[in-house]
């Protein structure tokens, strides 16, 4: 279930230019953010992150973020185009049977994730006005 966490960045750890882990004061969760453009945040920035809890790791997977201090918005790559490609390939090569069982389910997973990213982004846009 998607939800939003908002607050001030307490600490962060850069994984690479598109992946970062950080904590928000009072949120008691590590937030993992993977965005399609390089992320921009520092300690003390006020941010809002939309995503969902990862039951296995106990972390919060952020799909979109808004940095109010620096007026920046970012989101994960929805992968919708890849989803449509996988489904199309599965249908085109359905005579081989194998793609029907691998490509179409993979395409549907991409589309499901893409819708999730879009909903997370709209949660932050609607709250921003």
Three-state DSSP class for 58?
coil
pLDDT digits (tens, 9 = 90+) for 71-94: 999 999 887 788 888 888 887 777
Q: Domain-by-domain residue ranges, the chain?
A: 3-76
At 8 the pLDDT is 97
Q: For the chain, what is the mean pLDDT?
A: 88
CA atoms in the 13 A half-sphere facing the CB of 70? 16
- Give the end-to-end CA distance of the chain in Å, rounded to a whole number: 23
Residue 126 pLDDT exceeds 50: yes
Strands 30-34 and 19-24: antiparallel
Give the 3-state secondary structure percentages of the chain, helix then strand then coil, rounded to 5: 35, 35, 30
Q: How confident is the model at residue 24 (pLDDT cuts 50, 70, 90)?
A: very high
Q: How far is CA 129 from CA 6, 64, 123, 124, in A?
A: 16, 16, 10, 9
User: Is pLDDT larger for residue 89 or for residue 16?
Assistant: 16
CA atoms in the 13 A half-sphere facing the CB of 107? 17
Task: Name the fold adopted by 3-76.
Answer: OB fold (Dihydrolipoamide Acetyltransferase, E2P) (2.40.50)
At 96 the pLDDT is 66
pTM of the predicted model, to two decimals?
0.80
How far is CA 108 from its chain centroid?
17
- Which ranges constitute the DSSP H helices of 53-97? 80-92
**Mean pLDDT, residues 99-118:** 84
Q: CA nearest 30: which of 67, 58, 64? A: 58
User: Is pLDDT larger for residue 113 or for residue 126?
Assistant: 113
Per the CB < 8 A criterion, the answer to whether 125 and 91 are in contact is no
pLDDT digits (tens, 9 = 90+) for 88-108: 888 777 766 666 677 788 888
């Amino acid at each position: 279930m998607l939800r939003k966490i908002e607050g001030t960045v307490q600490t962060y750890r850069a994984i690479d230019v598109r992946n970062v882990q950080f904590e928000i004061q009072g949120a008691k969760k590590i937030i993992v953010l993977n965005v399609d453009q390089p992320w921009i945040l520092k300690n003390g920035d006020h941010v809002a992150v939309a995503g969902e809890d990862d039951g296995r790791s106990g972390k919060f997977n952020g799909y979109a973020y808004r940095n109010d201090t620096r007026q920046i918005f970012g989101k994960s790559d929805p992968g919708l185009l890849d989803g449509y490609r996988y489904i199309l390939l599965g249908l085109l090569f359905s005579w081989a049977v194998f793609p029907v069982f691998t490509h179409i389910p993979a395409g549907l997973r991409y589309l499901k994730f893409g819708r999730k990213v879009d909903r997370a982004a709209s949660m932050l846009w609607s709250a921003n006005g």
